Amino acid sequence: MVRLFVPIAEPAPDTLVLTGERRHYVVHVLRLGEGDALEVFDGKGRAFEAKVMGVGAEEVRVSLGASRQAPPRRAVSVVQGLPKGDKLEWVLQKGTELGAAAFLPVDTLRSVVKLEPKRAQERTQRWTKIVEEAARQCRRDDVPGVEVPRSLGDAVRALAPGTVVLVLDEEESAVPLGEAFRAAGAGTPIALVVGPEGGLAREEVEALKAQGARPVTLGARILRTETAALAALAVMMHLDGELG
């Protein structure tokens, strides 16, 4: 079944009118015509059976049928130090597949990439499209949020009250990620802090600890920044019974 992401009002209307990029995607990428079936999801956990009712020169009309609601799941946010190249795009795509609820790119002391405000906004728009497409492909009905890059301290201070902050730290050897994750309790929201290439500076780790964060380890292996985030998500998804 082909899928399409469309923000949908509450309550859902009987018919959607698709224009612009979404019309192009339906007609020229999915190659759907009148009478063809598809699934529409709204990025907030709802998915609908749907059918193309008409294809015009400027719009496509789609009727909505039966719906389903995704079950609630633990919210895991990835606070990712800005890495070089396209590594963040890899984390966004694969992290969406592995259940991340949100991505918070952050500027850290060892981040090589520095984004001016205009460039940061442009990148965030691109990153948002990446997670939308990843959610569509892996059949998620919700779409993770992607925040505009900001400082590590600001991102952690803005987390929802009650969020347990776990910091991947190569100098931590006593507390495994799995142990800290279990200790957080079922359903407790988690924020996973991952440094860029070279990891977090010690003063950053100490500042996070002063805010109540807990340094954790994934084990003896030294992982690249983009690998560490995904490995940690896989561990947490497994411990929550969603993988393996």
Torsions phi, psi for 190 (to 5 deg): -120, 140
What's at 66, amino acid-wise? A
Q: How far apart are CA 113 and CA 76, in angstroms?
A: 24
Instruction: Give the domain ranges of the chain.
Output: 3-69, 76-239
pLDDT at 222: 87
Crossing angle of the two packed helices 225-239 and 177-184, in degrees rounded to 10: 50
**CATH no. of 3-69:** 2.40.240.20
Number of Cβ within a 10 Å radius of residue 14: 7
pLDDT at 1: 85
Exposure on the CB side of residue 72, measured as CA atoms within 13 A: 5
pLDDT at 170: 84
Mean pLDDT, each 10-residue run in order, the chain (244 residues): 94 96 95 96 97 96 96 96 95 98 97 91 97 96 97 96 95 89 96 95 96 94 93 97 91
**CATH no. of 76-239:** 3.40.1280.10
Torsions phi, psi for 12 (to 5 deg): -70, 140
pLDDT at 70: 92
Q: How far apart are CA 213 and CA 195, in angstroms?
A: 14
